[in-house]
Amino acid sequence: MRRPEEDAALQSLHARRLRLFPDLDPSRVLHDAEGLVVVDKPAGVPSQSPDAESREDLPFRLGRLFTRRGESDYVGVHQRLDRDTSGVIAYARDEAANRFLAAQIEGRRATKSYVAAVKGWRGGARTLKHHLVKGVHGMEVTSARDKRAKLAVSHVEPLERDGDRTLVHVRIETGRTHQIRVQLAHEGAPVAGDPIYGDAPAPRLMLHAWKLAFDDGRAFEAPLPGAFRRWLRGEERVGYGDRAAIDEALRDAMERRWGLAHAASAEAPTTMFRLVHGEGDGLPGLTVDVYDDHLVASLYDEAAPHEDSILDALEELGFAGVYVKRRPKKASTIVDPRREEVAPAEASRGTSAPPSFVAWENGMRFVVSLGDGLSTGIFLDMRDARRRVRDATKGRRVLNLFAYTGPFSVAAAAGEASDVVTVDVAAPALATCEASFEANAPTTSAHRLVKTDCFVFLDKAVQRAERYDLVVCDPPTFATTKRTRWTSGKQWVELAQKCFSVAERGAVVLLCTNDARMGAEQFRRFVKDGAERAGVSLAVLR
């Protein structure tokens, strides 16, 4: 239950978010008349609703925009673009436009042209004809004799070349799933940045819906994003010396996180989330998190030399302030993560936030401190894991190890766990955990904070034959106490064994690692070995 003052604060935050994350940038509306709206779709935004619960797709955002203008929110969908493809797309706003688009798009009377950035295109223009079928990992080229196959026809023409890199114009006759991507890959020239059909590095999927022309003479064009020609020049990632490239990547990231930004107004609000995911958003060595009105930028080795230009670009996004965390390659070995030169206590741009405040995630309250060392008190990339813990804990006894400030414990209590035991060696972290519990009071869960070495706790728990229905273990990569020294790697076998040894039959055990040196398969092997030592069998939930 939210208090009236909390509702007022969330409404105010939502109004500010709408200015930062508008329903749609007006410059992206290419045409809005005669019942037809044509948009330059940002990369990373779904062109249609992926499911009934989605609140981030382009039709939903257009509907909100029209509602704010006092107009009908109706948006008719007749074409689709892949989520990570940018460019021109048309929607209907009334029944007449519906009939028109159905005839143009579904009747293949419209001309659809794309630009793709590829490596390996040989020769000049040619027409590609392939038969496509759905495979295990996407679409595949198959024989015309395959009864499941559908013919795909694309006309390809080089526009610009630089060495083995080419921008090609692709006009499609058919509209098969992933048609351009599959056909170009089959020809030995996959689209750059394509995680399914190619491996040429790029800051994004380098496919853009360039032009859309109808047979009544109307035609629309979406400008080619700057990343395409930068890639053609050999810039496979955002160069931090290029301010325009930084700004474009940040704008794209904000478009991708539009749904999260507006979750502040949801019934179960979220006001903090990751805005920039480093390499995944074309910005290597940089992560940026949003906490209400503030940003927290973590700079790793590749981004660190460009701190000023990065912070300047972030400041211009319009948030109240920007904090910086300087994280060298061996940040986990920093003796004092609260040193001013590592993590300044005040915002480096704009105004500072209160020393600590309550932020929301999926309707749960968490106490965060943006200027208190390298960490803020919560790891935002674990949002979905906390939601799963909350949803799986009703009536269960929960043990949270290496709990830090206890976000998993708060989630377990929100899910009505019967008992929650929170274990960490750091008293200040446990004090923050207690503050988060108080912020979420009242709760039906009994909770206990235990300040001790987690290995010592586990050994004693095994001796006492303690058992839990859900065990969460999310250790750092390195940790040293008076009793033990932990290094992520082979020691995971012993730690997993101890966790399974205190797990009740049928319990859920959530084991997490942030060790970038360790691959997923190696981690699974360590966990499996630990389970075998503990004499338990596993069923992997995810």
Measure the CA–CA gap between 267 and 271, rounded to whole angstroms.
12
Q: Which residues have a Cβ under 8 Å from the Cβ of 3 and sit 6 or more positions away?
A: none
- Nearest by Cα to 259 from 27, 53, 29: 53
- Range list for CATH 3.40.50.150 in the chain: 379-534
- Range list for CATH 3.30.750.80 in the chain: 243-357
Rounded to 10 deg, the angle between the 520-534 and 491-501 helix axes is 50
Catalytic residue among 82, 194, 292, 474: 82
- pTM for the model: 0.91
- Nearest by Cα to 358 from 271, 422, 257, 449: 271
Q: Please, are residues 379 and 408 in contact by the beta-carbon 8 Å criterion?
A: no
For every one of its 542 residues, what pLDDT tens digit does the chain have, with 9 covering 90 and above?
Answer: 789 999 999 999 999 999 999 999 999 999 999 999 999 999 999 999 877 677 899 999 999 999 999 999 999 999 999 999 999 999 999 999 999 999 999 999 999 999 999 999 999 999 999 999 999 889 999 999 999 999 999 999 999 999 999 999 999 999 999 999 999 999 999 999 999 999 889 999 999 999 999 999 999 999 999 999 999 999 988 889 999 999 999 999 999 999 999 999 999 999 999 999 999 999 999 999 999 999 999 999 899 999 999 999 999 999 999 999 998 766 555 546 667 888 999 999 999 999 999 999 999 999 999 999 999 999 999 999 999 999 999 999 999 999 999 999 999 999 999 999 999 999 999 999 999 999 998 888 899 999 999 999 999 999 999 999 999 999 998 888 877 888 888 999 999 999 999 999 999 999 999 888 899 999 999 999 999 999 999 887 76
pLDDT at site 477: 87
Q: Can you give the length of the chain in residues?
A: 542
Let me know if 32 is a catalytic residue: no
- Nearest by Cα to 9 from 437, 449, 517, 365: 365
Provide, for the chain, the percentages of residues in helix, strand and coil under a 3-state DSSP scheme, each rounded to the nearest 5.
30, 30, 40
| CATH class of the domain at 243-357 | alpha beta
The sign one gets for the Cα dihedral 259, 70, 15, 31 is positive
- Other CB atoms within 10 Å distance of the CB of residue 522: 15
Residue 198 exposed, middle or buried by CB count within 10 Å (0-12, 13-18, 19+): buried
Q: Which residues have a Cβ under 8 Å from the Cβ of 405 and sit 6 or more positions away?
A: 366, 367, 377, 378, 429, 430, 432, 433, 436
- The CATH T-level fold of domain 379-534 is Rossmann fold (3.40.50)
Please tell me whether the peptide bond between 476 and the residue prior to it is cis, using omega within 30 degrees of 0: no
